[in-house]
Chains A and B, each alone.
Chain A
């Protein structure tokens, strides 16, 4: 089967750094995505990791460790507009590359 775990909610302060973790169990890992979803809106693509290591994209970075089944999304210099849900999703080659989403982490930013 496949299992994706991420914290349900997190709170951080404007200007700070926050790390959102995601662990997964899958028989045929073939890539991990992070999406941002503001309340009432559609998810938007943030990052895609298929190899181990850190991918940096502006204020957002995503890290992957395939051996540990672990990823994190790092958000720096937090802004109020970063208040959103962050969804971790995994592709599984043993399931025809189906993309399975975690339930998301709701991030609250305090002024």
Chain B
């Protein structure tokens, strides 16, 4: 089975712009979670989707949003980018009925 894929792998944006990141989970996985990873804060939970519904949300401002499609692919969007949004954004999927997560390679976002 192919693993979790994320596109793009690297992105450079300017303050004030918006960005959309994409995640394709492992085939058959319907749960997708997003995390932000920075050296200072570690892995921080953004949100979780299951069957196109947001099941859980972390403590991030409303500029961070996401959605999931009927094929379980997910996107996250960050609007009005700030320098502090520079981070590695990781997507993870879980098999139904199990709790371990399988992570994608991440998207490295740099905001200048």
Contacts and interface: CB of A to CB of B under 8 A. Distances in A.
Contacts of B42: 87, 101-104
Interface in A21-54: 31, 33, 41-45, 48
Contacts of A42: 90, 103-106
Interface of B: 33, 35, 41-45, 48, 55-56, 58, 90, 99-106
B100 A45 contact: yes
B96 to A, nearest CB: 14
Interface residues of A, number: 21
Interface of A: 31, 33, 41-45, 48, 87, 89, 91, 95-104
A95 B105 CA distance: 27
B88 to A, nearest CB: 9
Contacts of B58: 98
Given A43-B43, A101-B42, A102-B42, A96 B56 contact: yes
Given A31-B99, A43-B90, A99 B33 contact: yes
B43 A101 contact: yes
Nearest to B58: A98
Given A99-B45, A101-B42, A48 B100 contact: yes
Given A98-B58, A99-B33, A45 B102 contact: yes
21 contacts: A31-B99, A41-B105, A42-B90, A42-B105, A45-B100, A45-B102, A48-B99, A87-B43, A89-B43, A91-B99, A96-B55, A96-B56, A97-B99, A98-B45, A99-B45, A99-B99, A99-B101, A101-B42, A101-B45, A102-B42, A103-B42
